[in-house]
Chains A and B, each alone.
Chain A
Amino acid sequence: MTPKILVIDDHVLVREGLRRALSKNEDLNIIGEAASKREAFVQIPHHKPEVIVVDLHLPDGSGLEIIAWARALSQQMGIVALTFSSQPEHILACMQSGASAHVSRSAPITELVEAIEKSVLNPLTFSTRRATPNLKTK
C-alpha cells in the first residue's frame, strides 16, 4: 500500500525539501500541501489522506488543533507531528491530542519515513525517538 500523505507546514522551503526527499521513496505518495490551519481544514476532507505530517506552529493557530480535529474525524489516519521543540510537555501534548508519532524537524528524513510507516500500521499508538521522561502520575 502506498499511503497518501498531506504535508501541513507554513514554511515553503521546508515543504519543498520534504516533498523532494519523500518523493524519492516510491512507497510514499504526497497528494497535497497546506500552509495554514485554515488550509488544512479544507485539504484534509478534500484529499482524505491516509497520513498527515503536521507542523505545530502555524500562522493562524496550533497544529495541535489540527491533530485533535483530524483524530476525531478518523481513527485510521496516521498523524505525524513534526516539531522543532523536543520539550517533554510538547511531546506529551502531541500524544494527548491524538498524534501517532512525534519527529524532530532536525532529524534526518529516514526518521520521518519510519514514523509515517509506523503510523499507517498503528495510527492510535504513539512513538517518538526523543528521550521522554516517565509521564505516569504518581
Chain B
Amino acid sequence: MPKREDQNERLELARRLHDGPAQKLIALGYRLDTVIGESTLNPIHRSELREIRLDLIDVTEDLRDELYLISALNLTSLRGELPEILPGFTIELDLPIDVAKPEIENSLAILILEIARNAAKHSTGKRFWVYFESSVNSFQLRVGDDGNRAISMKERSLGLKLINAQVQTLGGEIELRSGSFGNEYRIEIPRR
C-alpha cells in the first residue's frame, strides 16, 4: 500500500502546478486571443498567431491531463481508500494492480469508489466485494454488497449517473442485479 505521505506529496505537487504554470498558460491564451482579435492585425500574423494559439491549447490540455494523472487515484491507492469509505464492511478485493494503462486504471478506481460511496450511503450490508476477470477483448468487473434491501431508483439516481458516466468514458457497459444476495454491478470494459 502506498504511504499516505507519498500521496500527499503528489497532491501538493499537482496543486502547485495547477495554481502556477497552468493558470499562467490560461492567462497567456486570453492575452493571445486579445491580440488575435485586433482588427488592425496583419492577416499573415493573425494566421500565425492562431496556430500558436492552437498549440497553446494543446500544451495546456496536455498539462491538465498530466496533472490529472499525478493527482489521480490508481488501483493501489484504492485499496487504502475503500476501508475509509466503508468502515465496518468486510472488503474482498480481487483486483490485479497492473490491470491497465494509467488513465483506464484511474477511471476504474473512480468507478469502484463511486459504487462504494453508493453502498456506504444506501446499503444495509456488511460485505463489499470487487472481483475481476480478464479476457482477450475485455475486462469484467463484479462490484457489489450483501445488503438485502434493493436500492430504489430515486435513491441511486445521482450515484448511478456518475457510475454510468465513468463506464461510458471507458466505452463499457454496466448492469445492476439485485436479489437475496445483495446488489451487484456487472461491468464490462473493452480493452483498448
Q: Is A105 an interface residue when CB atoms closer than 8 A count as contact? A: yes
B27 cross-chain contacts in A, Cβ below 8 A: 11, 13-14, 16-17
The complex places the Cα of A130 from the Cα of B97 at a distance, in Å, of 30
Q: Is B57 an interface residue when CB atoms closer than 8 A count as contact? A: yes
Size bracket of the A interface: 20 to 34
Query: In chain B, what residue has the closest Cβ to A17?
Result: B30
Which of A36-44, A67-75, A107-115, A118-126 has 4 or more CB atoms under 8 Å from chain B?
A: A107-115
| Contact A11-B23, Cβ < 8 Å, known A17-B31, A21-B30, A106-B64 | yes
A96 cross-chain contacts in B, Cβ below 8 A: 158
Contact of A92 with B26 in the complex, beta carbons under 8 Å: no
Contact of A108 with B53 in the complex, beta carbons under 8 Å: yes
Contact of A108 with B57 in the complex, beta carbons under 8 Å: yes
Q: Mark interface residues in A68-92 (1 if CB within 8 Å of B CB, else 0).
A: 0000000000000000111111001
Query: In chain B, what residue has the closest Cβ to A91?
Result: B165
Q: Is B90 an interface residue when CB atoms closer than 8 A count as contact? A: no
B18 cross-chain contacts in A, Cβ below 8 A: 57, 84
Contact of A88 with B166 in the complex, beta carbons under 8 Å: yes
B160 cross-chain contacts in A, Cβ below 8 A: 137-138
The complex places the Cα of A107 from the Cα of B28 at a distance, in Å, of 12
Contact of B164 with A107 in the complex, beta carbons under 8 Å: no
The complex places the Cα of A84 from the Cα of B110 at a distance, in Å, of 19
Contact of A106 with B19 in the complex, beta carbons under 8 Å: no
Contact of A13 with B68 in the complex, beta carbons under 8 Å: no
| Contact A137-B30, Cβ < 8 Å, known A84-B22, A92-B165 | no
The complex places the Cα of A89 from the Cα of B45 at a distance, in Å, of 39
Q: Is B148 an interface residue when CB atoms closer than 8 A count as contact? A: no
| Contact A20-B34, Cβ < 8 Å, known A92-B162, A108-B57, A137-B161 | yes
| Contact A21-B57, Cβ < 8 Å, known A13-B27, A133-B168, A135-B165 | no
Contact of B26 with A137 in the complex, beta carbons under 8 Å: no
B161 cross-chain contacts in A, Cβ below 8 A: 92, 135-137
The complex places the Cα of A92 from the Cα of B37 at a distance, in Å, of 32
The complex places the Cα of A138 from the Cα of B153 at a distance, in Å, of 10
A89 contact from B26, B30, B34, B165, Cβ within 8 A: B165
The complex places the Cα of A84 from the Cα of B57 at a distance, in Å, of 12
| Contact A20-B166, Cβ < 8 Å, known A13-B23, A106-B57, A106-B61 | no
B164 cross-chain contacts in A, Cβ below 8 A: 133-138
| Contact A20-B22, Cβ < 8 Å, known A92-B161, A135-B165, A138-B164 | no
Q: Is B120 an interface residue when CB atoms closer than 8 A count as contact? A: no
Q: In the assembled complex, how far is the CB of residue A132 from the closest CB belonging to chain B, in whole angstroms?
A: 8
- Apart from A14-B27, A89-B110, A137-B164: 4 A-B pairs, beta carbons within 8 A: A11-B27, A137-B153, A137-B161, A138-B176
